[in-house]
Structure 1
Amino acid sequence: MALTAALGSEQMDALNKCKVLMVGAGGIGCELLKNLVLTGFTDIELIDLDTIDVSNLNRQFLFRKEHVGKSKAEVAKESALKFNPDAKIKAHHDSIFSSEFGLDFFKGFTIILNALDNRAARNHVNRMCLAADIPLVESGTAGYLGQVNPIKKGVTECYECQPKPPAQKSFPGCTIRNTPSEPIHCVVWAKHLFNQLFGEEDPDEDVSPDTEDPELTADAGKAALDAEAKKDAIGGIERKSTRAWAVETGYNAEKIFNKLFRDDIKYLLSMETLWKERRPPQCLDFHDLPGKGNQSLSVRSTDVWSVQECADHFSRCVSKLKQDLAGRGDNGMLVWDKDDHHAMDFVTSVANIRAYIFGISLKSGFEIKSMAGNIIPAIATTNAIIAGVIVMETLKILAGKLDKCKQVYLNRVPNDRKRLLVPCALDPPKPKCYVCSSKPECSVRLNTSKVTVKTLQDKILKGHLNMIAPDVEIDDGKGTILISSEEGETEDNEEKFLSDFNVGNSTRLKCDDFLQNYTLVVIVVQEEKLEGDAEFEVVGDMSECHPAEDEAATSTNGVSSSAKQTTDEDDDLVVLDDLEIDDTKQAGVENSESRKRPAEDLEPPVMAKRRAAEGGDSEDVIEIS
C-alpha cells in the first residue's frame, strides 16, 4: 500500500479508470496480480488455460496444496481478492487463442500485460495488441535472468521485430536410434517411443535401429541388412512399425520390453562396425534384470531408479497409458505432457533402461524432467522482481510517459556500475518487420514442385510465421484460393504441390488471418535445393534472398526450417522441444510457466544490447522471451 500512497491524484485516477488484461497466472503472473491489486488497479481480467500442479507451489504463492488440480486463473483471482476485496477481477480458464478473445475483446482494455511462457502465445498477443493499438508490456524470466519490454504500435519494436532462430534443435537420427552416448539422447528416444506407442506417429521419430546409418558403408552393415530382408533372423521379429507391434501384442509390457531392449539391441549388435571403437550395448531380458527382488517403487523425483524399478514403472505406465488411449476412441492419441505423471514416469523409466544398455549414467526423475521439458529452474525472487518492474513500466505508460519507458534487464551478476537491473532505451519498429510494418511482406525460398499446400499451411504459415487460421489467395489476377480456414473448403488441395497451382518464382501469396486481424504477403522464391536439405527458408524481404558475400556470413534474417535440423556436432546441443506449447502443435496451452521456465533462443541484437548494459561481453547471456 506504500506505493499507492505515494501516487498522485492524477495517477490514482488513471488507475481507477484503467482496465487491465493480464495473460498468464504462473510464476510471473501470481506476483504480478498481487502487485496490481496492492498498487490500486481495480479492474482486471485474467486469462490462463492451465491448472495448478504440486510443482508450482514452491514459487506461485497465490496457490496452496488444496488448490492442486484447479484453474490457475480462478484460484489466482480468489487469492488476490484477499489482498484487495474492492478489486474487480474476472478470470477466464481458457486459451488466449480462443475466438472469444478477438479484436473487439482486446480493444476493451487500456493495457495488456503478458506473463507467458511460450513464444506462440506471445506472438499472438503481440499481433492482437498491434491490431487493437493497445500498449503491451512483455516479460520473461529464466533462472536468475529476466527482462521487461514495453511495446507500442508505431513507437517501439514489436515482439517479432527481431528474427528468432528455430526453437527446436535435434540430434542426428542415427545417433538417437543406434549409438546414443549422452543421457539426453536416451530422453529424446524415450519421448519418440511415447509418440510411437500412444501419440502421433512420425516416421522421423521411429525408434527402430537405423539401417541407413552413415557409418554402415560398403559391407559394414550387410549382415544387418540381410537379416532385415529375411525378417529378423536373430530375434525372430518382423521389422514393422512400433505401433503395429504394440497393437498386436495388446500393449503387453513384457513383449514390448523384450522387443525394444533385447531383440532390437541384438539387431544393433549385428552391425559390427558400429562397435569397433565404441562400447557395445548389452541386451536385457524382462525376467532377468539388475536389481531383481527389489519390489519397492521409489517415488521421490530425486531418486535414481534401479533397472528393475524402471521395468516395474514401465509396466505400470504402459498399462495406464493403454487405458488412457482406449478412452480417446478408435483414432485417438495421447499428447506427451511432462506434468502427466504416467507420461513422465514412462519417459524416465525408458530413458534410464536405454541408458543402462549403452553404459550411460542413469538420472533421477527430476533430472530427466528437466531435460525432457527443456527446463531452467525457476527462481521465485526473479519472478517477484520482474513483476515489480512490469508495474513500474505500466505506471509510466498510463501517465502518458512512454518516452520514459525502458527495456529493463535483470542480470545474473552486477554490471560495472554495480547494477543488477539495467534499463535500456526502447528501439523503434524495424522497417521491414513482417508483422508491424505498414505493408508486411516476407519471402520464402522453396521448391514449388516438392512443397505441398499442407506444408505451406502447417509448417510455414502456422509453424514458422505463427498464424492461427490462415486463408491464402494467389495474387494471379484470378483470385485462386489455395487455403481456406473454413473446414473442408480446400481440403482437396492439401496433398497437391504448389506447382500444381502455377505457383512459381516471384508468385505473391496473400495470406490473411482474421483471428489476428493480420495480413501478410508471402513472396515465393523458387529454389531447386536448399542447403542442408531444408524444406524451406523464410527471409525478411526479397533483397535478403541473395545477400552479398561479405554480408552472408553475418546475416541473421534468414532462418532455415527442416524436418531434420541436424549437424555432425549436435551432441553438445540441448533439445529445445518447447513442450510448454509444442511451439505450434499445442498452441492452446499458453501458461504452465513451464513449472520451470523454458530457455529460449538468443537474438544477436538483444545480446549486443545486454552486453552493452552489463559493461562487457558475457558468454552466458541469453535473451529471455
Structure 2
Amino acid sequence: MGRRTYYQRAFGLPLAEQIRDSRVLLVGAGGIGCELLKNLTLSGFGDVTVVDLDTIDLSNLNRQFLFRREHIKKSKALIAKESAGKFNPEVKITALHDDIKSLQFDVNWFRGFTVIFNALDNLDARRHVNRMCIAANVPLVESGTTGFEGNVQAIKRGITECYDCTQKETPKTFPVCTIRSTPSQLIHCIVWAKSYLLTELFGVSEAMEALAADTEGDADEIKNLKGEAELLRQVVSHRDSDNFSKEVFTRVFSEDIKRLRDMKDMWKSRAPPTPLPSEFGEQEKLPEDGGDALTQQDQRIWSPWESYVAFDNSIRRLQKRFLDGETVIEFDKDDVDTLDFVVASANLRAHVFGIKPQSKFTIKQMAGNIIPAIATTNAIVAGLCVLEGLKVLRGDIHKAPMVFTNRSADKSLSAERVVRPPNRDCHVCSVARMLLFIYPKTATLGLLVKDVLIRELGYSDFSVMNGSGIIYERDSNFGEEDDEEWEDNLNKTFGQFGLKEMRFITIHDLSEDEPRVDLELAVVTRENFSFSIELQEQVEIPKRPVPPVSAHGMTNGATNGITNDAANGATNGITNGPSNGSANKRKRDLDDDDGENGAPVKRTKDMDLVDDGQNQAPVIRTKGIVLDEPILDDTHNGAIFIDDD
C-alpha cells in the first residue's frame, strides 16, 4: 500500500489532495521548526520552503533532532532539508539560508504560498512575518514556547485577530540560535558571555568536546573548525600568564569579529560588527586599584573603556581562583567575580554589534531570568501547528481558536472558546491596503504625495510614515500646505530613503471631518517598469469608526490599539491563555443535562456539560478543553478526528 493511500484514508481524499498540492512556507528551523518540518513531511505536504539565517550550535543538539555534531556551524535550513527529506522523499523541500526580512521576500513572494508557519524565536521577526501575511492575505499559523508553556494561533486577515492585535511584552527568554553570530539584543550578549565565554575560559570546553567526537563531517570543514578551536585552546592554555586578559580580549573582540565580518551573506540586511583594536586597552592607563572601585558602581552604565577595565579586573580575579585550585568556575549572579566578568564582556560585545549597553544592576536581573527550552513542549506545539494548519486548508479557520500548553497536570492543554475577531484599533490588520509599484531610482516622495495621494486618492491633510517615522506631513491648520520642514523630502527617491525602511508606507488621515482609516501601501520594486510609481488597484478606504460611548461618557473597547486582554502581555510569543472560568459559563445540574431535542446526555467522570449562555445545545468539556463537536467520524473525509474547537 503506497504512502498516498494512507494519507487519503487518514485525511479523506479531498483534504489529502489539498495537502499534496499546497505550497507551505516554514520560517525558522530551530526547536519548533525541526519538529514542524518533520510533521509537515510526514503529513504529505508536497512543497515546503524553509527559511532560516542561523547556523547550528552545539547547544542546539539536545532538542533540535535534525542536527548532529558534524553539522555544527553549518546552515540550519540546508541541514534541516537534508535530514527531513529522508523521512519522505516525495516532498519537495527548498532551503533558503537567508533573513526572512530580506528585500527579496516581498509581498508578492509571500502570496505564492498556501499557508505559512512561524517557528521563530524573536519578537521583531514574528511581527514582520505577521505584517507580510496580512498584506499578502495569506493565512499564518503562529507558535511559540517558553519552558513548559506554549501557544498556537491561526491568523487570517479580516477573520481573526493578528499577532499585533494585542500588546506583547519584551521577551525575557533568549533566542539561543543567534547569540553566537548575530546578536541583536543585549540579552544575546549576556548569554554569550555567561554560557559560552566564561565556560570556555574557566569551565569545560564544549567546543573541543564536540570536535573530538566528530568523525563523519566534511574534512575541510572539520579542519577549519579544529583550527579555530586550537587558537582558542592556545589562549586558554595561558591562564597562568600576566597577559591572559589581553590575549582573551584580542581573540574574542578583535580577531573573531574580523572573521565574522568576512561572512558577507550574514550582513546583507544588517550592519556588520565593528572589531575592537587589540591595543584598545592601551589608550589609557589602568586605575591604580585595577578597577576595584569601578566594579562597585552598579547603577550607571560603564563606558567601553570602563567595561575593558572591569573585564581585565574580573579575569584577573578568576585567574587567581583557578590557579588556587578551582578548576571549574560557573556563573552565579551572586558571585561577584563571575557577574563582573559577564557584565563587562556583554557590554563590550554590545559595543561591537552596535547594541545599547546596560548597568551592572540591570544585567544582573536579566541574567537571572533565562528560561531553558524544553524539547517536549516544542514537539507538542509543532503537532498543534499542523492540526491548526489542516483547519486552515479545510476553510475552518473559524474553528481554530488559540491553543495553549502549560505545566498544570489538570489542564496541560487548553483552548479559547471562540476565535477572537480583529482588534479594530490594530495598526497592522485594521487598515486599508494597496500595492504600490515603484522604480526606486526615479520614484520620489513628491510623486507619491501629489500624483497618488492627493490626485488619485483625494487626501487633503495627512502624514506619511515609513519604518523610521514621519517623512512628510501636510496639515492646512498650520498655514502653508507644504510645511518647509518636509519640503526637502519631496525630491528624494525611494532609494535615497532606503528601501528597507520603505517596504511599508502608512498614510494617516489628519482630516477633522470623518477621517479615513490608515492606509498601508506595500511597496513592490520593479526594475523594468514603464512608470516611476503606480498603484496596482484602488480599494475603498472606509471611514475611521467612532468608538461607542457608554452612559457615563466613557468609550468602550480598545484605546490606542491596546485591548484589555493585552494588559498581561506575552513572553516570547506566548499569549496569556483563557481564564479558568467566564461569566457566561456555569455547570449545569444533572436535571438540566440534555442534548439536542431534549435527549439526555451521558456524562463520564472526565466530562462536564457547559452552558454556552446563548440557549444553544450544551457543549462538552473534557479535561479542561471545550469541544463543540468532540468526535467527527466521516468515511469520506477521513478517519476519526478529535476536534479541539
> TM-score, normalised on structure 1?
0.51
Q: What is aligned with 1:251?
A: 281
Q: What is aligned with 1:40?
A: 44
Supply the RMSD in Å over aligned alpha carbons: 5.5
Q: What is aligned with 1:376?
A: 371
Give yes or no for contact 1:163–1:556 (8 Å, CA) kept in 2: no
Give yes or no for contact 1:294–1:309 (8 Å, CA) kept in 2: no
Amino acid paired to 2:137: D
Compared CA separation, residues 286 and 55, structure 1 to 2 (3 A): closer
- Residue 289 of structure 1 deviates from its aligned partner by 4.9
- Residue 29 of structure 1 deviates from its aligned partner by 0.6
- Residue deviations 1:47-81 (CA, integer Å, cap 9, x gap): 11111111111111111111111111111111101
> What percent of counterpart residues are identical?
37
- Residue 287 of structure 1 deviates from its aligned partner by 11
Give yes or no for contact 1:258–1:285 (8 Å, CA) kept in 2: no
- Separation in 2, partners of 1:286, 1:142: 32
- Residue 374 of structure 1 deviates from its aligned partner by 5.1
Select the residue among 72, 91, 94 that pairs with 1:90. Answer: 94
Q: What is aligned with 2:395?
A: 400
**1:262 equivalenced with 2:292 (yes/no):** yes
Amino acid paired to 1:437: S
- Residue 140 of structure 1 deviates from its aligned partner by 1.1
Q: For the pair shown, which has the larger CA radius of gyration, 1 or 2?
A: 2
Q: Give the SS at the match of 2:161.
A: coil
Q: What is aligned with 1:599?
A: 571
Amino acid paired to 1:250: F
- Separation in 1, partners of 2:149, 2:85: 29
Q: Give the SS at the match of 1:396.
A: helix
- Residue 307 of structure 1 deviates from its aligned partner by 6.7
- Separation in 1, partners of 2:314, 2:40: 56
Give yes or no for contact 2:432–2:520 (8 Å, CA) kept in 1: no
Give yes or no for contact 2:36–2:382 (8 Å, CA) kept in 1: yes
Select the residue among 338, 349, 352 that pairs with 1:333. Answer: 352
Compared CA separation, residues 473 and 68, structure 1 to 2 (3 A): same
Amino acid paired to 1:262: D
Compared CA separation, residues 60 and 551, structure 1 to 2 (3 A): farther
- Residue 124 of structure 1 deviates from its aligned partner by 1.4
- Residue 291 of structure 1 deviates from its aligned partner by 7.7
Q: Give the SS at the match of 1:251.
A: helix
Q: What is aligned with 1:437?
A: 430
Q: What is aligned with 1:294?
A: 322
- Residue 333 of structure 1 deviates from its aligned partner by 3.5
Q: What is aligned with 1:74?
A: 78
Compared CA separation, residues 20 and 256, structure 1 to 2 (3 A): farther
Amino acid paired to 1:76: A
Q: What is aligned with 2:33?
A: 29
Q: What is aligned with 2:473?
A: 474
- Residue deviations 1:281-311 (CA, integer Å, cap 9, x gap): xxx9789958836337856756899777888
- Residue 486 of structure 1 deviates from its aligned partner by 3.6
Compared CA separation, residues 111 and 247, structure 1 to 2 (3 A): closer
Structure 1: segments with no counterpart, 5+ residues: 170-186, 195-245, 270-283, 326-331, 338-346, 361-366, 441-464, 491-502, 519-540, 560-575, 577-597, 617-625
Q: What is aligned with 2:231?
A: none
- Residue deviations 1:264-286 (CA, integer Å, cap 9, x gap): 368999xxxxxxxxxxxxxx978
Give yes or no for contact 1:258–1:286 (8 Å, CA) kept in 2: no
Q: Give the SS at the match of 2:417.
A: strand
- Residue 164 of structure 1 deviates from its aligned partner by 3.5
Amino acid paired to 1:126: N
- Residue 39 of structure 1 deviates from its aligned partner by 0.6
- Residue deviations 1:311-360 (CA, integer Å, cap 9, x gap): 89999x69xx99x99xxxxxx933569xxxxxxxxx9xx99xx79xxxx9
- Residue 372 of structure 1 deviates from its aligned partner by 3.8
Compared CA separation, residues 373 and 138, structure 1 to 2 (3 A): farther
Give yes or no for contact 2:465–2:472 (8 Å, CA) kept in 1: no
- Separation in 1, partners of 2:550, 2:190: 39
Amino acid paired to 1:101: F
Select the residue among 130, 135, 138 that pairs with 1:131. Answer: 135
- Separation in 1, partners of 2:465, 2:54: 21
- Separation in 1, partners of 2:371, 2:465: 24
Compared CA separation, residues 152 and 505, structure 1 to 2 (3 A): closer
Give yes or no for contact 2:145–2:574 (8 Å, CA) kept in 1: no
Give yes or no for contact 2:50–2:95 (8 Å, CA) kept in 1: yes
Give yes or no for contact 2:291–2:313 (8 Å, CA) kept in 1: yes
- Separation in 2, partners of 1:145, 1:303: 25
**1:52 equivalenced with 2:52 (yes/no):** no
**1:388 equivalenced with 2:407 (yes/no):** no
Compared CA separation, residues 308 and 427, structure 1 to 2 (3 A): closer
- Where do 1:54-453 residues align within 5 Å? 54-164=58-168, 250-252=280-282, 261-264=291-294, 289=317, 292=320, 294-295=322-323, 333-335=352-354, 371-372=366-367, 375-415=370-410, 420-439=413-432
- Separation in 2, partners of 1:555, 1:426: 18
Compared CA separation, residues 372 and 542, structure 1 to 2 (3 A): farther
Structure 2: segments with no counterpart, 5+ residues: 174-185, 194-275, 300-311, 434-463, 476-480, 499-509, 526-534, 537-543, 563-568, 587-645
Compared CA separation, residues 610 and 426, structure 1 to 2 (3 A): farther
Give aligned pairs, total: 402
Give yes or no for contact 1:290–1:307 (8 Å, CA) kept in 2: no
Compared CA separation, residues 155 and 551, structure 1 to 2 (3 A): same
Give yes or no for contact 2:107–2:522 (8 Å, CA) kept in 1: no
- Residue 131 of structure 1 deviates from its aligned partner by 1.6
- Residue deviations 1:109-139 (CA, integer Å, cap 9, x gap): 1111111122221221112112211111111
Q: What is aligned with 1:457?
A: none
Q: Give the SS at the match of 2:164.
A: coil
Amino acid paired to 2:424: P
- Residue 18 of structure 1 deviates from its aligned partner by 0.4
Give yes or no for contact 2:152–2:381 (8 Å, CA) kept in 1: yes
- Residue deviations 1:127-169 (CA, integer Å, cap 9, x gap): 2112211111111111111111111111111222223456699
- Residue 470 of structure 1 deviates from its aligned partner by 6.7
- Residue 100 of structure 1 deviates from its aligned partner by 0.7
Amino acid paired to 2:75: S
- Separation in 2, partners of 1:109, 1:599: 28
- Separation in 2, partners of 1:485, 1:470: 17
Q: Give the SS at the match of 2:39.
A: helix
- Separation in 1, partners of 2:97, 2:77: 6
Q: Give the SS at the match of 1:394.
A: helix
- Separation in 1, partners of 2:45, 2:333: 47
Amino acid paired to 2:292: R
- Separation in 1, partners of 2:582, 2:295: 52
- Separation in 1, partners of 2:413, 2:27: 26
- Residue 371 of structure 1 deviates from its aligned partner by 3.3
- Residue 257 of structure 1 deviates from its aligned partner by 7.5
- Residue 92 of structure 1 deviates from its aligned partner by 0.8
Amino acid paired to 2:124: A
Amino acid paired to 2:59: S
- Residue deviations 1:239-274 (CA, integer Å, cap 9, x gap): xxxxxxx999731599558678334368999xxxxx
- Separation in 2, partners of 1:31, 1:287: 40
Q: Give the SS at the match of 1:127.
A: helix
Give yes or no for contact 1:161–1:429 (8 Å, CA) kept in 2: yes
- Residue 601 of structure 1 deviates from its aligned partner by 8.0
Compared CA separation, residues 22 and 485, structure 1 to 2 (3 A): farther
Q: Which has the higher contact order (CA 8 A, sep 6+)?
A: 1
Compared CA separation, residues 5 and 60, structure 1 to 2 (3 A): farther
- Residue deviations 1:339-393 (CA, integer Å, cap 9, x gap): xxxxxxxx9xx99xx79xxxx9xxxxxx97x934953221111111111111111
- Separation in 2, partners of 1:550, 1:130: 34
Give yes or no for contact 1:292–1:308 (8 Å, CA) kept in 2: no
> TM-score, normalised on structure 2?
0.50
